[in-house]
Copies of this chain bind each other. A is one copy, B any other.
Amino acid sequence: MSRLDSAIRRLQAQRACLDWAVAGIAGQPGPVLELGLGNGRTYDHLRQRLPGRQIFVFERQVAAHPDCVPDAAHLLLGDFRDTLPGALARTGGGAVFAHCDIGSGDPALTAELAAFVGPALAPLLAAGAVVAADQALDIAGCTAVALPDGVAPGRYHLYRKDAE
């Protein structure tokens, strides 16, 4: 499989997981969290699929296409270690969906970040919330969920927070 094949499969898996989550939260009020804005591609996808839904974006340094940057009220700028712990004050309540696209080219840094994000995310989620992530996460109170058809195991990760 070439890097081109791999990129296509990764984006397809990402979209399948996002669309699964979008369908899963229909009718459930609450904000959405996007951890990692990157080039803004998945943020653009979510805001199109979730019109009217508040989406809070966490990003260390914005490098997205200018069209894909949220307004200041929905952008938590800085290291996840600084922005996640107090985020409930900004979001105003538990999120019904969190998308985490946090991997970088550095496997050690990525693993370190994933180890922080899992526990830090748990208190920001509403009961029954879903999580889609490019990395395996250990989120207290969350259980792994089967991936949509066509998404190879390990290519993306889905979790659901237990009802309280």
Contact = CB atoms under 8 A, between A and B. Distances in A.
A53 interface: no
Contacts of A49: 2
A8 B4 contact: no
Contacts of A5: 15, 45
Nearest to A14: B4
B4 A44 contact: yes
Interface residues of A, number: 21
Contact of A45 (B4, B42, B65): B4
A48 interface: yes
A90 interface: no
A49 B3 CA distance: 12
29 contacts: A2-B41, A2-B44, A2-B45, A2-B48, A2-B49, A3-B39, A3-B40, A3-B41, A3-B44, A3-B45, A3-B65, A3-B68, A4-B11, A4-B14, A4-B15, A4-B18, A4-B41, A4-B42, A4-B44, A4-B45, A5-B15, A5-B45, A7-B11, A7-B41, A8-B8, A8-B11, A8-B12, A8-B15, A11-B11
